[in-house]
Amino acid sequence: MDPIEAKPLPLLEAKNIVKYFGAITALGGVNFHVDAGEVLGVVGDNGAGKSTLMKILSGLYTPSEGELVFQGRPVHFSSPKEARLLGIEMVYQDFALAGNMPIYENIYLGREPGRKFGPLRIVDHERSRAMAREHLDRLKISVKSIDQQTENLSGGQRQAVAIARATAFDAKLVIMDEPTAALAIKEVGKVLDLIRSLKEHGVAVIVISHRMDDIFYCCDRVMALFQGTNFADAKLADTNRNEVIGWIMGTKNHTEGLAHDRVH
């Protein structure tokens, strides 16, 4: 890349991403980028392609066409493991935790600290516990005990554990799919504050949400998907709720009348 160029390199850039499932076109050419330390909100109606796009970014799906560029280099992920190696992590809507296992093991699942011993890796449970404590402290997440099984936690606590897992190893980009959809109302604020604190740690976050309150509370920029393409995007300061709601429905020149929260 040309060093003279004034704009800094985006952390992740998607170029003309297309995804087919058989005869169905889920994504018909999506272009977007996210910068380091930026919180990007992604909105769109059901079936607009949000989840498909995020699964491509996190390595769960491979795109049919198009290119992902991470820190200036084209990348191809054939599994979530490869995306995670570069620091791209996903927090799933259902948290994707093993409920039968303690908090600390969930945080380091698949990346357990320990020593290689032939084909096996001997897990250092004490170090894992210590690392988990330290990491949760850093994120200001408090739990009764890191030995608690995650099935005994509330929705907000599970979400916090899922976020802790995503950020356990130097994450550069965390993708969150509907982070507040499964939470009690009093827990939503905590999770949104957690997203803001990730930004303060220099982590870029992509937040998919249906809730305008979430988007306008914690995002820097918002992008709307409509029928499998990127329809519009703007800095948060340059737009408003009604305009974004209009984008979700595929209209650019919104009118007040389209606002869903207005009583007619």
Partner 1 sequence: MTASTSTLYHPKIAHFMETYGIVLIVLVMMAILAVIKPDVFLSAENLTNILKQNASLALLALGMLVVIVTGGIDLSVGSTMALAMVCIAMASRVGVPWPICLLIGPVVGLAVGWANGIGLTWLKLPHPFIMTLGTLNIGRGLTYLLTGGAPVSGLQPELRYLGVSYWGLGIFNPPAGLPVSLVVVAISAVLLWLFLNRTSTGRHIYAIGGNPHAARVSGVNVDRVLTAVYMICGFFAGLAGLLLVGRTGSGFPNAGIGIELDAIAAVIIGGASFFGGRGTVLGVLAGVLIMGLLRNGLNINNVSAFWQMILIGFVIIIAVYIDVVRRKAAIRT
Which residues here bind partner 1, judged by CB under 8 A? Answer: 58, 60, 79-81, 84, 90, 92, 94, 96-102, 105-106, 109-112, 114, 117, 120-123, 125, 133, 136-137, 142-149, 152, 165
- Cβ atoms 233, 32 nearer than 8 A: yes
Start-to-end C-alpha separation, the chain: 53
Q: Which amino acid is at 222?
A: V
Nearest distance, CB of residue 79 and partner 1, angstroms: 7
Q: What are phi and psi of 213, to 5 degrees?
A: -60, -45
Which helix (H) or strand (E) segment holds residue 245: the answer is helix 241-248
The residues that bridge with 123 in the sheet, in sequence order, are 114
Nearest distance, CB of residue 29 and partner 1, angstroms: 26
- Cβ atoms 222, 248 nearer than 8 A: no
- Cβ atoms 17, 229 nearer than 8 A: no
In this complex, which beta carbon is closest to partner 1, that of residue 3 or of residue 110?
110
Nearest distance, CB of residue 206 and partner 1, angstroms: 16
Nearest distance, CB of residue 170 and partner 1, angstroms: 15
